[in-house]
Amino acid sequence: MPDLSHGEDAAAVNTLRSSIMLLGRRLKHQRVDESLSPAEMSVLGLLSLCGSASPGELARKEHVQPPSMTRIIAMLEAKDLVRLEPHPDDRRQKIVTRTEQAESMLAASRAKRNRWLTELAGQLDDDEWAKLRAAAPVLEKLAQT
């Protein structure tokens, strides 16, 4: 494993961190439904990615306290974006499932964000685009770790 804490490597890590954070913030603003908070969008995205889950599982994956997740789920349910269903094994628990309305909204949001990124990447020259395209799987690996 390389030591990335010194010199040019440390500078590259710093640039990577700040660039990813800035792009992430800018991407969050490319939403279709402005009435949803970033936390609500994040939970919907997680449900889309991972499928239905209990509130406790969602809280763990989102790194929030269970009462906070309960409030987020209640807001999403009031907007008809999720529904609570009985847990198949434990009647005391519920499973949170996204609705078709949520899927449509998420698809539209993904399309809007992809258009925005396409426009941004269109400003790159061919060599820069090739490097970014080659880096995409590596960034995905880091994001999944």
**What's the CATH number for 25-144?**
1.10.10.10
pLDDT at 1: 67
- What pLDDT does 4 receive? 65
CA distance 125 to 38: 32
Q: Could you tell me the pTM of the whole model? A: 0.76
DSSP string, the chain: ----SSHHHHHHHHHHHHHHHHHHHHHHT--S-TTS-HHHHHHHHHHHHH--B-HHHHHHHHT--HHHHHHHHHHHHHTTSEEEEE-SS-TT-EEEEE-HHHHHHHHHHHHHHHHHHHHHHTTS-HHHHHHHHHHHHHHHHHHH-
pLDDT in single tens digits along all 145 residues of the chain: 667 677 788 888 889 999 999 998 898 888 787 888 889 999 999 999 999 999 999 999 999 999 999 999 999 999 999 999 998 888 888 999 999 999 999 999 999 999 999 999 999 999 999 999 999 999 999 888 7
How many CA atoms are closer than 13 Å to the CA of 60, on its beta-carbon side? 5
Please give the Cα distance from 31 to 113 (Å, whole number).
7
- pLDDT for 135 equals 93
Length in residues, the chain: 145
pLDDT of residue 132: 94
Q: For position 17, what pLDDT does the model report?
A: 92
d(CA 56, CA 53): 8
Q: Residue 30: which of 112, 122, 108, 123 has the closest Cα?
A: 112
